[in-house]
Amino acid sequence: MSTFADTTFTPPELIRNFCIIAHIDHGKSTLADRMLQITGVVEERAMRAQYLDRMDIERERGITIKAQNVRLPWQVDGQNHVLHMIDTPGHVDFTYEVSRALEACEGAVLLVDAAQGIEAQTLANLYLALENDLAIIPVLNKIDLPAADPDKYAKEIAHIIGCEPEEVLRVSAKSGLGVRELLDEVVLKVPAPQGDADAPARAMIFDSVYDTYRGVVTYIRVVDGKITPRERIRMMSTNATHELLEVGIISPEPKPSVGLGVGEVGYLITGVKDVRQSKVGDTVTSERKGATEPLAGYREPKPMVYSGLYPVDGSDYPDLREALDKLQLNDAALTYEPETSAALGFGFRCGFLGLLHLEITRDRLEREFGLDLISTAPNVVYRVVLDDGTGELIVTNPSDWPTGRVGEIFEPITRCTIIAPSDYIGTIMELCQTKRGQLGGMDYLSEDRVELRYTMPMAEIIFDFFDALKSRTRGYASLDYEESGEQSAELVKVDILLQGEPVDAFSAIVHKDAAYGYGTRMATKLRELIPRQQFEVPIQAAVGSRVIARETIRAIRKDVLAKCYGGDITRKRKLLEKQKEGKKRMKMVGRVEVPQEAFVAALSTDESSDKGKGKK
């Protein structure tokens, strides 16, 4: 079936570009599903839930990681229109995906779960959209749920965005109820894109994805002029020129087209193999008679959390490098640099947007590339001013912490927003206090729900804050945070020593008041995780030369099979071979044999991340 939307160069006044933004799990992808169905771009039998969550890992975890755009036809009052819809992720780690999507749009559907109301990422994403001057269409979703309270939450929304509660649309993304009306509203409310069709071509790259078969696929939104497959293009930041192999639209599979005109969203393929040559935020123009002024670019995503990734089997190191190279093709936010650890051997110090990003990357490396990895405890980036006036150090790995010479230390802080039922205000404040948070303000969203604003060290947030918050509010609190500069702090490096030898992988930078807690926790954990050796092994936690906690692993006393196996010597020998095989999987710390599992278990914060956030 061919539709109006299949042909490009649609007049801009008939185009509407919008994205769906919301807190995690409020139903963006499900709403996108209904739009795909109602507009007829996906046939009934090809439909599956969260159609646009294409990656295995997205489907498994039930969350969106990559934003996805689709071109949809929609008729209002007999007039055909083209809608470019972008489904975005809701998790805070992927906020940069949202901000990129916003650049390609004039409007945003702000979706709110009618059983939960406004949550932290609702606000964060709303503010992002407002900063971009987008038209906001407020929508309550899941009105089919028995627990839905649309009247209450319509008021909340109206209060926040400054509209009338009646203006908030009500839909069920699950049943499709209200979705047609929503599409009509998009056409009505979202401004048509504006641009100069006769000006030199300018298109904004808002995403760039590596595909094994097609190479780099670059997603663009044309602002001025046109992009056609016959013309060579130029990347304005580098002046590199490329031949265009294909230009097309997504509906929802890629379809080649004759080109893209003002306001249109689509993709282009040049044959380059590296996404870095097709950088998000860059402006594409035509090689001949191209534009001279690029469009305003994006802020590059900046890693906030660092962790060392090491192959369990040292000989997998080259494979890990290759795997990281490949993943980075698709994930500009991922950074990595080789590093070595005395305990773990060769690995990479990797930068991530947050813990979920770390976890997902690790997961993909393990599953898609068959690697077995150890990741060290995540940390943030510190700035250490040396007291001898020789300058400063940026520390992304506790091992690089200077000895002596430490003058002032700066740690990144975040502005964070917590939304929760007002019953929990006391509990939350207590928790935030222990995490060195400073209350910035508090607002009631409705009689019984509040928004608390805090300034908090990022290190506290990435550790176990979210889990602590969830468990203390019985899952009702939501959290959003963004980086907001740095503050001077009294931080120390805690080392963990086995038999007097520091184990670099276990060192951590913590606030001086938390040093004792970290030290005892690690020492106790390790005592349980490290098998007894033929000699006694003292475990110590130390700040500099001061020991703050100690434990002892007693020497093993028995390691002999004393049983008559008669003549079955084969069995004995095989058992020995197996034990020796097991020994190979041990990492040596001095003379102490530490099993890989001990590293994995000791370094997992068990309560650190919020996986699928409530999706069981």
Partner 1 sequence: MPHTGAVPSTLPDGDPAPADGALPSSALRGLGERPFGVYVHVPFCATRCGYCDFNTYTPGELGTTASPESWLEGLRRELDLAAGVLGSAPPAETVFVGGGTPSLLGVDGLTDVLDAVRDSFGLAADAEVTTESNPESTSAEFFAGIRAAGYTRVSLGMQSAARHVLAVLDRTHTPGRAVAAAREAADAGFAHVNLDLIYGTPGERVEDLRASLDAVLAAGVDHVSAYALIVEEGTALARRVRRGDLPAPDDDRLAESYELVDSVLSAHGLDWYEVSNWASSADARCRHNLGYWLGGDWWGAGPGAHSHVGGVRWWNVKHPARYATLLADGASPAAGRETLTDDDRRIERVLLELRLAEGLPLDTLDDTGRANASDAVADGLLDRIALAEGRCVLTARGRLLADAVVRRLT
Ligand X SMILES: Nc1nc2c(ncn2[C@@H]2O[C@H](COP(=O)(O)OP(=O)(O)OP(=O)(O)O)[C@@H](O)[C@H]2O)c(=O)[nH]1
C-beta closer to ligand SAM: residue 199 or 575: 575
Cβ proximity of 319 and 230 under 8 Å: no
3-state per-residue secondary structure call for 238-261: CCCEECCCEEEEECCCEEECCCEC
| Candidate residues 556, 585, 588, 615; the one interacting with partner 1 per rule CB under 8 A | 556
561, interface contact from ligand X, ligand SAM, partner 1, none, CB < 5-8 Å by kind: partner 1
Q: How far apart are CA 167 and CA 317, in angstroms?
A: 57
Binding residues for GTP: 25-30, 141-144
Cβ atoms of residues 423 and 472 within 8 Å: no
Residues within window 552-571 making contact with ligand SAM, judged by CB under 6 A: 563-564
Query: Per-residue DSSP letters for 554-597?
Result: PPP------S--TT-HHHHHHHHHHHHHHHHTEEEETTEEEEHH
Is the distance from CB of 129 to CB of 111 less than 8 angstroms? Answer: no
Q: How far from the centroid of its chain's Cα atoms is residue 485's Cα?
A: 20
Q: How far is the CB of 567 from ligand SAM (least distance, A)?
A: 12
Q: What letter does residue 531 receive in the DSSP assignment?
A: P
Partner whose binding site includes residue 493, from ligand X, partner 1, ligand SAM, none (CB under 5 to 8 Å by kind)? none
Q: Which residue is associated with the tokens 């097991």?
A: 582
The Cα 152–Cα 117 span in angstroms is 8
CB of 139 to ligand X, least distance (A): 11
Out of 63, 82, 384, 494, the only residue in the binding site for ligand X (CB under 6 A) is 63
**Is residue 552 close enough to count as binding partner 1 by CB under 8 A?**
no
Residue given tokens 């940390």 in the structure block: 379
Chosen from ligand SAM, ligand X, partner 1, none, partner binding at 535 (C-beta under 5 to 8 Å by type): partner 1
Q: Which of 29, 122, 285, 379 binds Mg ion (CB under 5 A)?
A: 29
**Cβ contacts of 453 within 8 Å, gap of 6 or more:** 415, 416, 417, 418, 439, 440, 441, 442
Structure tokens at 13: 């006044």
Q: Which of Mg ion, ligand SAM, ligand X, none sits in contact with 26, Cβ below 5 to 8 A by type? A: ligand X
**Coil, strand or helix at 367:** helix
Binding ligand X (rule: CB under 6 A), the pick from 10, 30, 328, 455 is 30
The residue within the footprint of partner 1, chosen from 557, 584, 606, 616 (CB under 8 A), is: 557
Residue 22 structure tokens:
């919301």
Q: Which two tokens stand for residue 412?
A: 């990144």
Rounded distance between C-alpha atoms, residue 532 and residue 592, angstroms? 9
Stretch that binds partner 1, among 18-26, 214-222, 415-423, 576-584 (CB under 8 A): 576-584
CA angle (160, 163, 165) in 5-degree steps: 90
x/- map, 135-174, ligand X, by CB under 6 A: ------xx-xx--------------------------xxx
Q: With contacts defined by CB under 8 A, name the span among 51-59, 252-260, 304-312, 578-586 that binds partner 1.
A: 578-586
Which amino acid is present at 546? R
Q: How far is the CB of 564 from ligand SAM (least distance, A)?
A: 5
Rounded to an integer, what distance in angstroms lies between the CA atom of residue 253 and that of residue 41? 9
Q: Check binding of 141 to Mg ion (CB under 5 A).
A: no
Question: Is 22 one of the binding residues for ligand X (CB under 6 A)?
Answer: yes
Residue positions in the annotated binding site?
A: 25-30, 141-144
Spatial neighbors of 318 by CB under 8 A, at least 6 apart, are none
Per-residue contact string for residues 522-551; x = within reach of partner 1 by CB under 8 A: ------------xx----------------
Stretch that binds Mg ion, among 26-34, 413-421, 427-435, 550-558 (CB under 5 A): 26-34
Which range of residues in 57-65, 93-101, 214-222, 430-438 is near Mg ion by CB under 5 A?
57-65
Q: How far is the CB of 124 from ligand X (least distance, A)?
A: 12
Residue 64 makes contact with ligand X by CB under 6 A: yes
- Asked whether the beta carbons of 317 and 365 are under 8 A apart, the reply is no
Q: Kindly list the residues in this chain that would bind partner 1 in the complex (CB under 8 A).
A: 534-535, 556-564, 566-574, 576, 579-580, 583
Q: Summarize as ranges the residues that interact with ligand X (CB under 6 A).
A: 22, 24-30, 50, 62-64, 89-90, 141-142, 144-145, 172-174
Which residues are at the interface with ligand SAM (CB under 6 A)? 563-564
- Residues lying near Mg ion in the complex (CB under 5 A) are found at 28-29, 64
